[in-house]
Amino acid sequence: MTPRHAVVTGAAGGIGQAIVQAFNEAGYAVIATDVVPQPAGLACALYLQVDLARTVQDEAYAADVFARIHARTGPDGLAALINNAAVQILGGVDSLTRADWQQTLQVNLQAPFIWTQALLPALEAAKGSVVNISSIHARLTKKNFVAYATSKAALSGMTRAMAVDLGGRVRVNAIEPAAIETEMLRAGFERQPERYAQLVACHPVGSIGTPGEAASCALWLASRHAGFLTRSCMPLDGAIGSRLYDPIGI
């Protein structure tokens, strides 16, 4: 039996590696992409070192990347496209540069659209689906996340619009995670264990998410078990998105 193909962008990060592993274990032939070289131990059918922002800026470069993907998937098409790659450039309205703003939108918003558009024939051939990894920042945010939050709000909005536009041709869903325990997140709290404990306690479930949980959501959304589900923006947030904060009772 020919394995189903899946493309995962941002495959070298904590969530990306977990998604690649989950799809591998489910029998997919995974085409993994990231701007950095292939991490040791990341098993996949094909690894492409790709500059996502450049696929937005340079049509010839993008065409070459997509040709390599189409050559791999062949007539069987593409069962899943997981738009996971993202950049998070922190800064306020008064400090973000034009380059910061452009890079954020290119990687987090424009690339998912362009990749979906370019791979649409392969997705249709396999009756496939798109899963966009958005963020809780699409709905709730905090200071200095204006570029990231804007890009993720637009990505969730685009998910809903694409689902309507594509109808029964290709399903499009998103996941909106809150804090996920990646190596990058842990490193940010390496010398501040008390702040990490506060972050955990902020979530009503008393924990933060794991990359494996995000990967499991992506796998289910892409599967035929979710065949009637499209335009969903699934919160993966430990109920923090419903918690009211005030000075009393925190």
The predicted-structure confidence for 203-223, as pLDDT tens digits, reads as follows 999 999 999 999 999 999 999
Q: Say how far apart CA 211 and CA 215 lie, in whole Å.
A: 6
Annotated active-site residue in 28, 47, 61, 148: 148
Task: Please tell me the total count of domains within the chain.
Answer: 1
What phi and psi, each to the nearest 5 degrees, are found at residue 237?
A: -135, 10
The answer as to whether 199 is a domain residue is no
Give the sheet arrangement for strand 80-83, strand by strand.
46-49, 29-34, 5-9, 80-83, 129-133, 171-177, 233-236
Q: How confident is the model at residue 3 (pLDDT cuts 50, 70, 90)?
A: confident
- Whether 246 has a pLDDT exceeding 70, the answer reads no
Sorted by sequence, the CB contacts under 8 Å of residue 105 that are 6+ apart come out as 147, 150, 151, 154
Q: What is the rounded average pLDDT of the residues 153-174?
A: 98
The answer as to whether 153 is a domain residue is yes
Does the annotation mark 148 as catalytic?
Answer: yes
Write the CATH number for 71. 3.40.50.720
Q: Please give the span between the terminal C-alpha atoms of the chain, in angstroms, as a whole number.
A: 54
Sorted by sequence, the CB contacts under 8 Å of residue 196 that are 6+ apart come out as 186, 189
Task: Convert 189-199 to b/e letters by CB count within 10 Å (16 or more is b).
Answer: eeeeeeebeeb
Q: Show the tokens assigned to 223.
A: 């599967």
The predicted-structure confidence for 92-143, as pLDDT tens digits, reads as follows 999 999 999 999 999 999 999 999 999 999 999 999 999 999 999 999 999 9
Res 41: pLDDT: 93
pTM, full prediction: 0.94
The answer as to whether 11 is a domain residue is yes
Strands (E), 42-200: 46-49, 80-83, 129-133, 171-177
The answer as to whether 207 is a domain residue is no
Residue at token pair 């008064």: 94
Res 97: pLDDT: 98
The answer as to whether 98 is a domain residue is yes
Q: Structural domain of residue 51, as residue ranges?
A: 5-179+212-242
Task: Quote the DSSP letter at residue 215.
Answer: H
The answer as to whether 204 is a domain residue is no
The answer as to whether 44 is a domain residue is yes
The answer as to whether 195 is a domain residue is no
Q: Say how far apart CA 78 and CA 150 lie, in whole Å.
A: 29
Q: How confident is the model at residue 188 (pLDDT cuts 50, 70, 90)?
A: confident
The predicted-structure confidence for 29-85, as pLDDT tens digits, reads as follows 999 999 999 999 999 999 999 999 999 999 999 999 999 999 999 999 999 999 999
Res 191: pLDDT: 83
Res 228: pLDDT: 97
Q: How confident is the model at residue 248 (pLDDT cuts 50, 70, 90)?
A: low
